[in-house]
């Protein structure tokens, strides 16, 4: 089994519900986004349009971050998910430099979103989830997936632009979509073999 995600660019409307769901699920701090969307404009009037490119950790088959980590804090699970053990991380940032997708961030001291109001009840409950000075990133919502649920970003997507499943199963929805819609990976020149695929614009 190798977990992966398909993102249908034709369906994505750039609402950032995925980014907000990720922040809530993982209680990331101000300015930290494990899931984000790049917005660009293409074409010329009257055929101009806004394009949206959702980004997250690519959970690469040949993950350069795992190879670069000197303490084995970055590793791959049997299901292909790349994870970080913050208890082993020394904050050297080697993995951040090695990642061509800019998918990792350094955990900073947990602060309230609104300093003058202090921590909310939720912030107080989760403020110890992130170890200052260690690297963190998307983990495909491992706890949710282990419990048989979908990643938060997939569950929240209002247009069903995100599909999660087993890339090793040719009968899975993700595998069929990749095959039928010419799914592609970002920056294939690096040979990382990402587990996140994108479906291009095109006719139904």
Please state, in angstroms and as integers, the Cα–Cα distance from residue 50 to each residue in 38, 42, 44, 104, 162, following that order: 10, 6, 11, 26, 19
Does some domain include residue 162? Answer: yes
Provide the CATH number for the domain around residue 55.
3.30.70.20
Does some domain include residue 99? Answer: yes
In this prediction, residue 203 carries a pLDDT of: 47
In this prediction, residue 125 carries a pLDDT of: 84
> How many domains in the chain?
1
Domain residue limits at 98: 3-199
Q: Please, which residues have CB within 8 angstroms of residue 169's CB and are 6 or more apart in sequence? A: 1, 175
Q: Which of 48, 23, 49, 46 is nearest to 34 (CA)?
A: 23
Strand partners, 40: 51
pLDDT along the chain (204 residues), means of 10: 97 96 91 95 91 97 98 98 97 98 91 82 83 96 97 97 98 98 97 98 60
Does some domain include residue 204? Answer: no
In this prediction, residue 202 carries a pLDDT of: 67
pTM: 0.93
Distance between CA 183 and CA 64 in Å, rounded? 22
Distance between CA 18 and CA 39 in Å, rounded? 14
């Amino acid at each position: 089994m190798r977990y992966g995600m398909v993102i249908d660019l034709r369906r994505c409307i750039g609402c950032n519900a995925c980014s907000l769901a990720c922040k809530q699920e993982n209680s990331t701090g101000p300015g930290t986004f494990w899931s984000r969307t790049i917005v660009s404009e293409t074409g010329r009037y009257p055929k101009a349009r806004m394009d949206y490119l959702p980004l997250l950790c690519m959970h690469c088959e040949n993950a350069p971050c795992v190879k670069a980590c000197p303490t084995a804090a970055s590793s791959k699970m049997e299901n292909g998910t790349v994870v970080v053990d913050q208890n082993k991380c020394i904050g050297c940032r080697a993995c951040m430099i090695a990642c061509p997708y800019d998918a990792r961030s350094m955990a900073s001291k947990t602060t309230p979103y609104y300093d003058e109001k202090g921590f909310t009840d939720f912030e107080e409950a989760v403020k110890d989830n992130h170890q200052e000075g260690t690297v963190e990133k998307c983990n495909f919502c491992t706890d949710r997936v282990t419990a048989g649920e979908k990643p938060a970003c997939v569950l929240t997507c209002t247009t069903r632009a995100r599909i999660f499943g087993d890339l090793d199963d040719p009968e899975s929805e993700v595998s069929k979509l990749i095959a039928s819609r010419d799914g592609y990976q970002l920056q294939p020149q690096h040979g990382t073999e990402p587990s996140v695929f994108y479906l291009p614009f095109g006719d139904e």
